Amino acid sequence: MTIHLRIKDLRKQNNMTQLEFSSKIGVDNSQYSKIERGILEPTLSLLLEISSKFNVSLDWIATGVEPANKSLNDVKVVVSTDKTKDQFPAVVTVDSHQRDNIVLVPIKAAAGYLTGYGDPEFIKTLPTYRMPNLNNGTFRMFQVKGHSMNNTLHHGAIVVGEWVENWPRDIKDDRIYVIMTQSDGVIVKRVLNRLKKYNNLICKSDNRKEYPSFSITPDDIIEIWEVKLGLLFELPNPADLYDRVVDLEAEMMQIKHLLAK
């Protein structure tokens, strides 16, 4: 049974019409109808609202693991044994229209985020924004620290990441991700997904001359966000790339010259 059918089943168990159910959880009836039909995906904030209003666990709504008729006092939080799949952000905030806010984690707050990512009070202290064309999904903004991603992302650039729920399935090779690790805090890297083959991710810097690649395992990872948008305050100079190509051509010509002797 899909998440859409579980929500529909919950409505029927409570003998409610679509209008009554949508009104109780605070969404437009037409939007709710699309959710039941599988046309529209429910947001995490909406799932939390359903969980709260109808005394069912978020795990049951998302996965069907628990029976829907448990009261809140009987519900136990079910934690997946595989942390790479079916995870949700520890804390999300919503605006007055029940839309997920996009929280910004600036450089100066990155250290605090490592310990406060699951603390609603800490998350409330961070600035929030709305971004155009980022409506379906859970997003968070991070400020890039250091020069390892030059010339793609400079120090101080801001990236908007979308929550990655299933790491083995959803992480695509050579895309940029924000990864929160226990050992190094928040890092922004281009990633090769080798979870199924070697149980690790290969993290690559775009500035590879100064920053070598390295691997990390799921045990060290807390959160992963796929970068969907970048806000740059220093536009890269294409001449830098051109100079590197010219240098490479010169080196190749020198090698050919030496081999011809």
Q: What range does the domain containing 180 cover?
A: 102-231
Q: Write out the chain in H/E/C secondary structure.
A: CCHHHHHHHHHHHCCCCHHHHHHHHCCCHHHHHHHHCCCCCCCHHHHHHHHHHHCCCHHHHHHCCCCCCCCCCCCCCCCCCCCCCCCCCCCCCECCCCCECEEEECHHHHHHHHHHCCCHHHHHCCCEECCCCCCCCCEEEEECCCCCCCCCCCCCCEEEEEECCCHHHHCCCCEEEEEEECCCEEEEEEEEEEHHHHCEEEEECCCCCCCCCEEECHHHEEEEEEEEEEECCCCCCHHHHHHHHHHHHHHHHHHHHHHHC
Question: Does a structural domain hold residue 171?
Answer: yes
User: Considering its fold, how many domains does the chain have in total?
Assistant: 2
For residue 151, cis peptide bond before it (omega within 30 degrees of 0) = yes
Indicate whether 56 and 153 sit together in one domain.
Answer: no
Final residue of a domain: which of 40, 63, 86? 63
Question: Does a structural domain hold residue 42?
Answer: yes
Indicate whether 106 and 206 sit together in one domain.
Answer: yes
User: Which residues, other chains included, contact 39 with Cβ-Cβ below 8 Å and sequence gap of 6+?
Assistant: none
Indicate whether 12 and 114 sit together in one domain.
Answer: no
CA distance 160 to 172: 17
pLDDT tens-place string over residues 183-232: 999 999 999 999 999 999 999 999 998 999 999 999 999 999 999 999 99
Least confident of 3-7, 74-78, 183-187, 227-231: 74-78
139 contacts 163 by C-beta, under 8 angstroms: yes
Indicate whether 39 and 140 sit together in one domain.
Answer: no
247 contacts 229 by C-beta, under 8 angstroms: no
Indicate whether 122 and 177 sit together in one domain.
Answer: yes
Quickly count: other Cβ atoms within 10 Å of residue 182's Cβ: 11
Quickly count: other Cβ atoms within 10 Å of residue 200's Cβ: 18
The pLDDT score that the predictor gives to residue 243 is 74
Indicate whether 54 and 121 sit together in one domain.
Answer: no
| Residue scoring higher pLDDT (153 or 34) | 153
pLDDT confidence band for 169 (50 / 70 / 90): very high
Residue 83 has pLDDT above 80, yes or no: no
CATH number at residue 13: 1.10.260.40
Indicate whether 57 and 116 sit together in one domain.
Answer: no
Residue 149 has pLDDT above 90, yes or no: yes
Q: What's the whole-model pTM score? A: 0.64
Report residue 69 CA to chain centroid gap.
31
Indicate whether 111 and 224 sit together in one domain.
Answer: yes
CATH number at residue 193: 2.10.109.10
Indicate whether 113 and 59 sit together in one domain.
Answer: no
